[in-house]
């Protein structure tokens, strides 16, 4: 794709965020869902990408799963401590997620439970009714640059080059949408009292599922023979469960992407990709231990999907190579992918 086509996409995206009315959080969630699906299923050509609305609905549940938890410490008078995201009767799709949360201990359990398909049907109907129809509308006129939608088809089609652009600008798109979403939640009067009290709102809305990671830790340690995945020295008392493909690049807790490591090694790697032998070791690891990792994921309530983890890895390394990104080579050594994997 040529540079003007990329810039035109960014300009349209910026117009959408600034000019379209955002009266509930669904449009933000839809944008993030499309960006994730472009990474997981799209490619870097100009091709269109057809997405079943049910698959978008499944992404929706993942996105709202955290947010349907009570926020911070419960407040004294017993009033709801779940953040408001949508005024009035428009809260239906979030209610579906709240119901699933009440019935299942984890997202993984919900996905394999008997209520899942029915919930997806309801959420799909809500998606068609609200954000899919409305996302590309401005206050006046419309900006149909992302997808085409025929009512009743059960799918949307990302227009030529859109999946490629969402992959190319994924970090930028997701951060921009999350920033707007954060402002939206902060500004809702119903949330003011809750937000007065407590911790980091951004982390609550968009952070990783720390409790799931904690639950996976002991078994990951065991599988790794109690050695750090990065430096292979014995682990000590304090152990981090880290995302091999950094969270800043891809924000879903896939169990195949988790490794138990020294906090110091984790800090050295930071938000960079690991290159060279580490990358090969990780790819081999996900294959060798596929079944065990699936078990751990099921027990810890994390997403089990090796194919997606590998596709995400392929995409993020291709991206890093294209922009000449810094990568981590282990210890205190850094370089670029060109140095590490010429």
Taking CB under 5 A as the binding criterion, the range among 20-28, 122-130, 149-157, 262-270 that sits at the site for Zn ion is 262-270
* Spatial separation of the C-alpha atoms in residues 170 and 250, rounded to whole Å: 9
Cβ 47 to Zn ion, closest distance in Å? Answer: 41
Torsion angle of C-alpha atoms 200, 68, 38, 306, degrees rounded to 10: 100
Number of amino acids touching Zn ion (CB under 5 A): 5
Q: Which of 231, 298, 299, 325 binds Zn ion (CB under 5 A)?
A: 231
Taking CB under 5 A as the binding criterion, the range among 99-107, 224-232, 291-299, 317-325 that sits at the site for Zn ion is 224-232
HSE-up of residue 232 (Cα within 13 Å, Cβ side): 5
Taking CB under 5 A as the binding criterion, the range among 101-109, 150-158, 225-233, 277-285 that sits at the site for Zn ion is 225-233
With tokens 């007065």, the residue in question is 196
3-state class of 125 per DSSP? Answer: helix
- Tokens standing for 69? 């938890």
Binding positions for Zn ion, 308-327, rule CB under 5 A? none
Nearer to Zn ion among residue 203 and residue 226 (C-beta): 226
Residue 230 interacting with Zn ion (CB under 5 A): yes
Nearer to Zn ion among residue 26 and residue 230 (C-beta): 230
* Spatial separation of the C-alpha atoms in residues 7 and 255, rounded to whole Å: 35
* Spatial separation of the C-alpha atoms in residues 85 and 88, rounded to whole Å: 10
Cβ 263 to Zn ion, closest distance in Å? Answer: 9
Cβ 278 to Zn ion, closest distance in Å? Answer: 11
Contact assessment for residue 271 and residue 246, using Cβ atoms and an 8 Å cutoff: yes
Pairing of the two strands 155-158 and 49-52: antiparallel
Residue 262 interacting with Zn ion (CB under 5 A): yes
Cβ 286 to Zn ion, closest distance in Å? Answer: 19
Nearer to Zn ion among residue 174 and residue 273 (C-beta): 273
Contact assessment for residue 135 and residue 126, using Cβ atoms and an 8 Å cutoff: no
Closest alpha carbon to 299 in 105, 73, 45: 105
Nearer to Zn ion among residue 29 and residue 216 (C-beta): 216
> Buried b / exposed e across 265-297, counting CB within 10 Å, b at 16+?
bbebbeebbbbbebbeebbebbeebeeebbebb
* Spatial separation of the C-alpha atoms in residues 223 and 238, rounded to whole Å: 17
Cβ 330 to Zn ion, closest distance in Å? Answer: 9
Q: Which of 29, 110, 228, 241 binds Zn ion (CB under 5 A)?
A: 228
Residue 269 interacting with Zn ion (CB under 5 A): no
Q: Which residue is nearest to Zn ion (CB)?
A: 228
Cβ 228 to Zn ion, closest distance in Å? Answer: 3
* Spatial separation of the C-alpha atoms in residues 199 and 206, rounded to whole Å: 13
Kindly write down the DSSP assignment for every residue of 230-250, as one continuous string. Answer: TT-SBP-S--EEEESS-TTT-
Taking CB under 5 A as the binding criterion, the range among 187-195, 220-228, 269-277, 322-330 that sits at the site for Zn ion is 220-228
Pairing of the two strands 333-336 and 326-330: antiparallel
Cβ 259 to Zn ion, closest distance in Å? Answer: 10
Nearer to Zn ion among residue 8 and residue 231 (C-beta): 231
Cβ 334 to Zn ion, closest distance in Å? Answer: 16
Residue numbers at the binding site for Zn ion (CB under 5 A): 228, 230-231, 262, 265
């Amino acid at each position: 794709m040529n540079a003007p086509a990329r810039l035109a996409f960014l300009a349209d995206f910026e117009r959408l965020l600034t000019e379209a009315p955002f009266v509930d959080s669904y449009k933000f969630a839809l944008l993030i869902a499309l960006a994730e699906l472009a990474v997981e299923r799209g490619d870097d050509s100009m091709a269109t990408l057809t997405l079943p609305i049910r698959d978008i609905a499944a992404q929706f549940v993942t996105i709202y799963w955290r947010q349907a938890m009570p926020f911070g410490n419960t407040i004294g008078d017993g009033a709801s401590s779940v953040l408001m995201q949508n005024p009035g009767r428009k809260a239906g799709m979030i209610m579906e997620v709240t119901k699933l949360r009440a019935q299942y201990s984890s997202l993984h359990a919900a996905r394999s439970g008997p209520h899942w398909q029915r919930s997806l049907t309801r959420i799909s109907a809500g998606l068609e009714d609200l954000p899919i129809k409305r996302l590309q509308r401005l206050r006046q006129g419309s900006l149909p640059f992302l997808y085409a939608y025929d009512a009743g088809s059960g799918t949307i089609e990302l227009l030529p080059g859109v999946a490629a652009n969402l992959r190319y600008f994924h970090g930028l798109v997701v951060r921009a949408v999350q920033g707007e979403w954060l402002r939206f939640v902060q500004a809702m009067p119903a949330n003011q009292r809750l937000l007065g009290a407590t911790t980091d709102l951004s982390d609550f809305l968009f952070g990783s599922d720390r409790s799931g990671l904690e639950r996976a830790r002991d078994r990951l340690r065991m599988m790794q023979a109690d050695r750090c995945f990065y430096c292979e020295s014995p682990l000590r008392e304090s152990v981090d469960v880290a995302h091999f493909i950094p969270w800043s690049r891809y924000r879903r807790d896939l169990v195949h992407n988790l490794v138990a490591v020294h906090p110091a090694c984790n800090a050295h790697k930071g938000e960079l990709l690991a290159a060279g032998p580490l990358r090969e070791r990780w790819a081999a690891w996900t294959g060798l231990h596929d079944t065990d990792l699936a078990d751990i994921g099921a027990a810890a309530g994390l997403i089990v999907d090796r194919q997606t983890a590998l596709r995400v890895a392929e995409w993020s390394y291709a991206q890093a190579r294209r922009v000449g990104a810094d990568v981590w080579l282990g210890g205190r050594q850094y370089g670029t992918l060109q140095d590490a994997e010429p």
